[in-house]
Amino acid sequence: MSATRVDTTIVVAAVVAAAIGALGLIGVLGQAWMGQTPSSFLTYLPMILVPIAIALACVAMIRTAYRRRQTGVGHR
């Protein structure tokens, strides 16, 4: 698998994890707004997925910066 595909896969996984975490947070806020007790699943989902998404985004940026240093892009 090429480096570009790996980076794309990492970014897609980060976006999916962030989107699911955001939807879980919206679900918790919606339940609280309706006066219901928020479900524990929806409460823990954002707390687990959002940090994973941030970590995956950091990994993608570090891999890109490392690859740019190896190829010498931007050097005169």
| Tens digit of each residue's pLDDT (9 = 90 or more) over 17-68 | 999 999 999 999 999 999 999 888 989 999 999 999 999 999 999 998 888 8
**What was the pLDDT predicted at 71?**
74
In a domain, 76, yes or no: no
Secondary structure (H, E, C), 36-60: CCCCHHHHHHHHHHHHHHHHHHHHH
**What was the pLDDT predicted at 51?**
94
**What was the pLDDT predicted at 76?**
59
**What was the pLDDT predicted at 75?**
61
In a domain, 74, yes or no: no
Task: Count the domains in the chain.
Answer: 1
In a domain, 75, yes or no: no
Residue 74: band (very low, low, confident or very high) from pLDDT cuts 50, 70, 90? low
In a domain, 61, yes or no: yes
Domain enclosing residue 55, as ranges: 3-69
In a domain, 12, yes or no: yes
What mean pLDDT do residues 1-11 have?
Answer: 85
In a domain, 28, yes or no: yes
* Nearest-angstrom CA–CA distance, 46 and 28: 10
User: Is residue 3 a contact partner of residue 67, using CB atoms and an 8 Å limit?
Assistant: yes
